[in-house]
Structure 1
Amino acid sequence: MLAIVLALGASLGWGVSDFLGGLKSRTLPVLTVLLISQSTALVLLTLIAATRAAAPPDAATLGHAAIAGLGELAGIAALYRGLAVGTMSIVAPVAATAPAVPLLIGLATGQIPGPLQLTGLALAMLGLAATSYRPGTSTGPTASTLPSILYGLLAAAGFGTFFHTMHHAGQGDVGWALLTARLTSVLALAAVIIITRHRVRVRATDLPQLAAIGALVIVADFLYTTASTLGLAGVAAVLASLHTIVTIALARIMLKERLRRAQQIGIAISLIGVLAISAG
């Protein structure tokens, strides 16, 4: 039960950070938003690591953490790019299949949930797809929709890789896992910015929200990593992926965006799935 609560807490943190990141990305370049927020997270994690004085885990564990950082960064980049050049109603539900990656890996390695949890997992993933669905659009792999599908699949692969590898990295030390993942992502971002010669410009008034995004990501990553080490990684990944619903709810409250009937049904299905997972 504690793992479920922590995973749901991760979904809340990621949902709020996604909402704030989406708002700032309307006025600032995505690379700038990512660099400032990720760098803030790295500074905070470094300070925490300095006070803990915990011994670093083995190289294999740190390697998993580094891959997790790259996976998360790739997932965010692909999702943002897909939403910018593709169709949101196609990109979002494809990206929402990310929990299938650790779930399928878990099933292949013998981590088999009970029948009720399997049903809950299926309902939660179905609800995520329905929440992101917008009627009146074609989802066939035509020339116009192919970029949306590809970017969605890349985002799902990136987030799914993070879910799976961070679970293994957290088996050593959660603090070192998060620090290594964040350091890797910031170094990768810096390399991209240098190669593309992107000029980072940000107003002082934007810094508090960008810093808050980084802090929320730290909290969410910590909650997810802990949850995945206490319970089944596939279950934790699906529950943490409910951050999509959090973002939609905030958009409805703060931006007055209206939910379509399909989204309302998707939220209800996801909540039923959460209850089924909890009961199992």
Structure 2
Amino acid sequence: MLSVVLALAGSVIYGASDFFGGLAARGTSAVRVTLINSISGLAILIVAALVLPSRWGSSVLLWGGLAGACGAVALVLLYACLAIGPMSILSPILALVAAVIPIAVGFARGERLSGLGYLGLAVGLVAIILICLVPGERAVRPSPRGIVMAVGAGIAIGGYLVFIDLTPPDSGPAPLLVTFVVTGVVMSVALLGQRLARRGAPRPPITRATVIFSVLCGLTDAAAAFLFLLALRAGELSIVSVLNALAPAGTIVLAALVLRERIAPVQWVGLAVALVAAALLALA
């Protein structure tokens, strides 16, 4: 029950992070947004590490570093998918792979659920597809490159959860510190490469609003990551991974409330199905 509550809270906050990141990316490159995200998220995690007990060791550095690398790869491929489209097909593929990979790993490691738990997983996977569907692009077929990138992004996101789950239970927020540092370094290198490739070209100034949204993206990202870390330590990887993949629900609701974007009927159904899945997993 506790792990479901923590994972659901993390999923909602992850959705908010994606919402802020999307607003920030309207004013500058996704790489720059991600770099500011990593720096601001790292700042709050440093405070958490000073307040909460943390234990460092080779396993923290190894699994935290691999999780950070997966996170960086996932972000790059995710933004590439957004650029290629159609997201009505690529987004469900990405979300499903991101959920299925940790489920498979969890079962391979001996995780076993009750009948309600298995039903909750199945209902949750259906909810993921419905929430991620964007009507209006049905006639557009995805390119093989787009499908490969969506699958790659899903594998990277799933890998992130698997590696974070492998960190020592008593390590506190230390693995997340490593994760954010690695992601920040990777994005710094990417930003440097981007600038070298565009040497001589005028660079649009970054606005105050963009910085604020990027910082909010980082703070909410770090908070969500910490909640998922706690959820993984309190429950099963398979259950947490499905709830993690429901994060777009938070983004959709925020976009509707703040930007007045329309929620499609199929997405309303997906939100309702997600609540059913969460209830089943909580009772499992």
TM-score greater than 0.5 by the shorter chain = yes
Count of residues in correspondence between the two structures: 277
The answer to whether the 8 Å contact 2:13/2:224 transfers is yes
> Mapping of 1:93-242 within 5 angstroms?
93-97=92-96, 98-135=98-135, 137-138=137-138, 144-169=142-167, 171-197=169-195, 201-242=205-246
Per-residue deviation, 1:146: 2.0
> Cα RMSD between the aligned structures?
2.0
Which letter does structure 1 place at the counterpart of 2:61? L
In the alignment, the residues of structure 2 paired with residue 29 and residue 236 of structure 1 have an alpha-carbon distance, to the nearest angstrom, of 31
In the alignment, the residues of structure 2 paired with residue 257 and residue 237 of structure 1 have an alpha-carbon distance, to the nearest angstrom, of 27
Q: Counterpart in 1 of 2:200?
A: none
The SS at the match of 1:197 is: helix
Q: Counterpart in 2 of 1:243?
A: 247
**Structure 1: gaps of 5 or more residues:** none
In the alignment, the residues of structure 1 paired with residue 242 and residue 163 of structure 2 have an alpha-carbon distance, to the nearest angstrom, of 15
> Mapping of 1:29-68 within 5 angstroms?
29-52=29-52, 54-56=54-56, 58-68=57-67
In the alignment, the residues of structure 2 paired with residue 232 and residue 59 of structure 1 have an alpha-carbon distance, to the nearest angstrom, of 24
Q: Report the more deviating stretch, 185-194 or 205-214.
A: 205-214
The SS at the match of 1:169 is: coil
Q: Counterpart in 2 of 1:268?
A: 272
Q: Report the more deviating stretch, 118-127 or 165-174.
A: 165-174
Query: Are 2:254 and 1:256 equivalent residues in the alignment?
Result: no
Instruction: With the length of structure 2 as denominator, give the TM-score of the two structures.
Output: 0.90
C-alpha spacing 1:96/1:273, structure 2 compared with 1 (3 Å): same
Q: Per-residue CA shift, 1:156-189, capped at 9, x if unaligned?
A: 1111011111111252413111101111111111
The answer to whether the 8 Å contact 1:4/1:227 transfers is yes
Instruction: With the length of structure 1 as denominator, give the TM-score of the two structures.
Output: 0.92
In the alignment, the residues of structure 2 paired with residue 270 and residue 218 of structure 1 have an alpha-carbon distance, to the nearest angstrom, of 24
The answer to whether the 8 Å contact 1:127/1:269 transfers is yes
In the alignment, the residues of structure 1 paired with residue 235 and residue 52 of structure 2 have an alpha-carbon distance, to the nearest angstrom, of 25
In the alignment, the residues of structure 2 paired with residue 53 and residue 106 of structure 1 have an alpha-carbon distance, to the nearest angstrom, of 27
